[in-house]
């Protein structure tokens, strides 16, 4: 939730509340206090995203392989210190938080508009003061952490509450976040993410006990303090009249009111309302209207963890908020499996559709002035309609399933109300496949059914045999390019070449090699194409979840399919008329694979009546005069620097030798039947029981 102004107050006005701590020492103290218990931190994943994404390039769609390496460094530092991490990510947006969610999304839209203005004016990435995290970063971070062997959970209610509950229930050594609500919850110590020094394993602990001592309050008073000051549950303007009275009384007593006098004034008011021990105080005693009392009581209850009570309200912590009733469209087994997969961060979107009938998508780097490219929310809507139709089929003889409420952010959408999107059946012979068979069935026939259903979501089931000839990561790229092209997106042949050449090249590059990629100028349209593709990968993951996982999830992840900076460089090359050999960096096996992929994409589109034409766009040929290369900005000191970059050489051939080309980068044909071949990429990384690619 977050308490207005409290974090700054604690950091600046209360000496001793913020104390630097050594995490190794904390872990050792925890081991002594809890013998046999592994020191554990409950980590607020959403609060860590800006810390984790310290990649110098951010505007191009994401440097995903580098990002995975940075996450591995983060996890490795705590593992070396003997500290277990449990990560939590927001899995739902509760109804009473929607208003604040919308405000934040509209505010970010303004920042995105400034990003595109800067790019068009200067031809370069803005500084980090305008940093907009890559699309889907939270979603892909969950899967990335799981691939690194970390316990990761997606919440089914307000994330702060679940994190605080877990930390209390499991005797965690701390909660790592950047949210003042963790000063209010009576749970494990609150540790600051923003003050974390990973190389020294130190951070700052914010002490709720010291805060209470300075304000003359009890721990049980903190929830009331938070609500009167204003948070997501009790809007700040709602109780302005009460705070004004508190301030007036405070000024009457103190001629000089400190800068943070509001917090002192409210705390003084709460303290004055205390009753003798054993006598209930109750919010009913406060000078408020009945409506404000109800709102305040509900706000206080939100901070009560299981088993906790408050003298200010008459009941225990609240039950999980009810969600829309969609269960009549699915069996109990399906509903239970959807919830379990959601909590384990194994699926995406499915739980939200089945339980709440509500989905949302945050901001995307989209140019409001771009007319040729449809916004991602609209471009992928037909696929989502069929996804909803698979998950919410109307039983025979019953009324159709209700529309799913979509809160999708895109330029021009003021989010005043959700878009209502009706489910659409897949249109396969015999109707939709049974969800129970897709999720729980076994055998080759069920596997084939899952693949067909997956492709039917994108209306490409007629080309199952063509697409299955490819390894999964390249199948994902080809499928998305075909889908985008068929949605009347004005995708040109040069755009297709850029997408495909980067998809082939990225498979043969380590993250350190990708760090060497440079672009001479940043193009606004290429930015939007990069984000459009990454959003498409999220739709693929949702479809894979809904169809019972016909493909391994890690094969659909961006670190196996996409690098933003590499795509940007290929886009500039393709639109300047580079040859296939130049696009593929002089690697003959890459050129061969690239041409096969392009032929497949163009052939499928042609069979659907869509011709993709060459339409080279005018792009700048060099860095604008006087501009600085933003890729030289310093990496935040939380992570080790990988060392000096090699001398940048744009699009230089990789010296690998013929054997490396065949085993690392090339595809070997395997005959399926006369006239057809299947291309497989030789494994680049060893396979672990919990698959985790290692990037040198």
pLDDT at position 78: 98
For residues 43 and 47, give the distance between their C-alpha atoms in angstroms, rounded to a whole number: 8
Distance (Å, whole) CA 315 – CA 134: 43
Average pLDDT over residues 97-121: 94
Range with the lowest mean pLDDT among 245-259, 284-298, 612-626? 612-626
% the chain with pLDDT above 90: 70
User: How much is the pLDDT for 634?
Assistant: 42
SS3 content of the chain, % helix, strand, coil (to 5): 50, 10, 45
Name which of 403-412, 419-428, 443-452 the model is least confident about: 419-428
Mean pLDDT, residues 139-163: 96
Local confidence band at 330 (pLDDT 50, 70, 90 cut-offs): confident
- Three-state DSSP at 421 gives strand
pLDDT of residue 2: 78
Q: What is the mean pLDDT of residues 559-584?
A: 97
Kindly tell me if the per-residue pLDDT of 632 is higher than 50.
Answer: no
pLDDT at 243 over 90: no
What letters, b where the CB count within 10 A reaches 16 and e where it falls short, cover 594-619? bebbbebbbebbeeeeeebeeeebeb
* Residues in Cβ contact with 378 at an 8 Å cutoff, skipping those fewer than 6 apart: 410
The average pLDDT across 451-480 equals 96
Output the pLDDT for position 250: 83
Residue with tokens 């002490």: 207
* Number of Cα atoms under 13 Å in the Cβ half of residue 437: 14
Residues 6+ apart with CB under 8 A from 454: 543, 544, 547, 550, 551
Write down the pLDDT at residue 252. Answer: 83
State the pLDDT at residue 149: 96
pLDDT of residue 109: 95
Q: Is the pLDDT at 279 greater than 80, yes or no? A: no
Most confident stretch, 93-107, 251-265, 565-579, 658-672: 565-579
Q: Is the pLDDT of residue 597 over 60?
A: yes
Res 121: pLDDT: 95
Read off the pLDDT of each residue in 394-415 and give the average, rounded to a whole number: 86
* C-alpha distances in Å from residue 290, one per residue of 1, 295, 298, 312: 23, 9, 12, 15
- Give yes or no for residue 511 having a pLDDT over 80: yes
The stretch 130-148 carries a mean pLDDT of: 97
Write down the mean pLDDT value for the chain: 86
Q: What is the pLDDT of residues 220-234, one digit of tens each?
A: 999 999 999 998 888
Could you report the per-residue pLDDT of 207-224, keeping only the tens digit for each? 999 999 999 999 999 999
pLDDT of the residue at 254: 77
pLDDT above 60: residue 543 = yes
Indicate the pLDDT class of residue 385, thresholds 50, 70 and 90: very high
Mean pLDDT of 521-548: 97
How many CA atoms are closer than 13 Å to the CA of 572, on its beta-carbon side?
Answer: 23
The rounded distance, in Å, linking the Cα atoms of 652 and 416 is: 50
DSSP assigned state of 638: T
Q: Of the ranges 116-125, 382-391, 419-428, 526-535, which one carries the lowest mean pLDDT score?
A: 419-428
pLDDT range class, residue 157, cuts 50, 70, 90: very high
User: Residue range 18-22: average pLDDT?
Assistant: 96
- The pTM of the full predicted model, rounded to 2 decimals, is 0.87
Check whether 322 has a pLDDT greater than 60. no
Burial of 176 (0-12, 13-18, 19+ CB in 10 A): buried
Q: Is the pLDDT of residue 26 over 90?
A: yes
Model confidence band, residue 645 (pLDDT cutoffs 50, 70, 90) = very low
280 versus 444: the higher-pLDDT residue is 444
- With cut-offs at 50, 70 and 90, classify the pLDDT of residue 236: confident
The pLDDT score that the predictor gives to residue 664 is: 33
Predicted pLDDT of residue 404? 96
Looking at the predicted structure, is the pLDDT value of residue 688 above 80?
no
pLDDT, tens digit, 9 for 90 and up, residues 280-306? 677 877 888 888 888 899 999 999 999
At residue 259, the pLDDT reads: 63
255 pLDDT higher than 90: no
Q: What is the pLDDT of residue 399?
A: 74
pLDDT in tens, 48-104: 999 999 999 999 999 999 999 999 999 999 999 999 999 999 999 988 889 889 999
Q: Which two tokens stand for residue 633?
A: 């900005």
Q: What is the pLDDT of residue 638?
A: 44
DSSP 434-491: PHHHHHH--SHHHHHHHHHHHHHHTT-GGGHHHHTTS-HHHHHHHHHHHHHHHTT---
């Amino acid at each position: 939730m977050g308490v207005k102004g409290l974090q700054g107050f604690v950091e600046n006005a209360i000496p001793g509340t913020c104390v630097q701590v050594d995490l190794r020492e904390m872990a050792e103290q925890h081991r002594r206090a809890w013998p046999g218990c592994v020191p554990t931190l409950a980590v607020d994943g959403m609060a860590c995203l800006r810390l984790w994404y310290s990649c110098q390039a951010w505007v191009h769609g994401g440097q995903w392989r580098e990002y995975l390496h940075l996450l591995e460094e983060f996890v490795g530092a705590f593992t070396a210190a003997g500290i277990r991490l449990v990560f939590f990510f927001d899995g739902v947006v509760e109804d009473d938080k929607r208003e604040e969610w919308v405000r934040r999304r509209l505010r970010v839209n303004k920042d995105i508009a400034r990003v595109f203005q800067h790019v068009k004016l200067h031809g370069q990435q803005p500084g980090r003061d305008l940093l907009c995290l890559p699309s889907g970063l939270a979603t892909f971070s969950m899967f990335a952490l799981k691939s690194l062997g970390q316990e990761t959970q997606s919440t089914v209610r307000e994330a702060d509450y679940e994190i605080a509950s877990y930390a209390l229930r499991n005797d965690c050594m701390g909660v790592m976040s950047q949210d003042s609500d963790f000063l209010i919850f009576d749970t494990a110590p609150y540790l600051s993410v923003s003050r974390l020094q990973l190389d020294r394993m130190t951070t700052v602990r914010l002490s709720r006990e010291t805060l209470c001592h300075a304000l003359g309050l009890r721990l049980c008073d903190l929830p009331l303090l938070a609500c009167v000051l204003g948070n997501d549950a009790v809007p700040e303007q709602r109780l302005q009249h009460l705070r004004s009275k508190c301030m007036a009384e405070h000024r009457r007593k103190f001629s000089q009111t400190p800068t943070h006098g509001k917090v002192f004034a409210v705390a003084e008011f709460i303290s004055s309302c205390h009753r003798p021990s054993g006598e209930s105080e109750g919010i009913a005693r406060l000078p408020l209207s009945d409506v404000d009392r109800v709102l305040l009581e509900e706000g206080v209850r939100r901070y009560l963890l299981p088993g906790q009570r408050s003298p200010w309200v008459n009941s225990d912590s609240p039950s999980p908020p009810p969600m829309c009733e969609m269960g009549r469209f699915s069996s109990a087994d399906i509903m239970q499996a959807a919830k379990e997969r959601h909590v384990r961060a194994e699926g995406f979107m499915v739980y939200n559709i089945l339980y709440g009938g509500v989905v949302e998508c945050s901001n995307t780097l989209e140019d409001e002035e771009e007319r040729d490219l449809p916004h991602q929310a609209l471009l992928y809507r037909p696929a989502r309609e069929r996804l909803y139709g698979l998950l919410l089929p109307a039983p025979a003889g019953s009324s159709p399933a209700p529309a799913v409420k979509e809160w999708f952010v895109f330029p021009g959408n003021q989010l005043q109300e959700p878009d209502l999107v009706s489910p659409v059946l897949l249109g396969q012979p015999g109707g939709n496949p049974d969800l129970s068979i897709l999720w729980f069935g076994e055998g080759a026939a069920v596997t084939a059914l899952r693949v067909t259903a997956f492709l039917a979501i994108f209306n490409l089931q007629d080309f199952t045999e063509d697409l299955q000839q490819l390894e999964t990561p390249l199948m994902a790229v080809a499928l998305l390019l075909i889908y985008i092209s068929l949605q009347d997106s004005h995708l040109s042949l040069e755009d297709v070449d850029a997408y495909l050449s980067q998809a082939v090249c990225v498979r043969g590059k380590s993250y350190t090699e990708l760090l060497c990629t440079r672009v001479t100028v940043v193009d606004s349209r290429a930015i939007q194409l990069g984000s459009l593709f990454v959003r498409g990968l999220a739709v693929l993951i949702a479809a894979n979840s809904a169809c019972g996982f016909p493909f391994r999830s890690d094969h659909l992840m961006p670190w196996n399919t996409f690098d933003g900076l590499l795509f940007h460089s290929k886009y500039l090359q393709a639109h300047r008329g580079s040859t296939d050999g130049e696009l593929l960096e002089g690697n003959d096996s890459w050129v061969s694979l690239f041409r096969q992929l392009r032929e497949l994409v163009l052939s499928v589109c042609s069979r659907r009546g869509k011709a993709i034409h060459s339409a080279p766009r005018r792009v700048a040929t060099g860095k604008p005069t006087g501009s600085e290369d933003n890729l030289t900005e310093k990496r935040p000191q939380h992570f080790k620097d990988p060392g000096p970059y090699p001398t940048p050489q744009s699009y230089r051939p990789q010296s690998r030798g013929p054997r490396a080309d065949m085993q690392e980068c090339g595809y070997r044909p395997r005959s399926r039947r006369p006239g057809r071949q299947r291309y497989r990429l030789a494994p680049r990384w060893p396979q672990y029981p919990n698959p985790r690619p290692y990037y040198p």
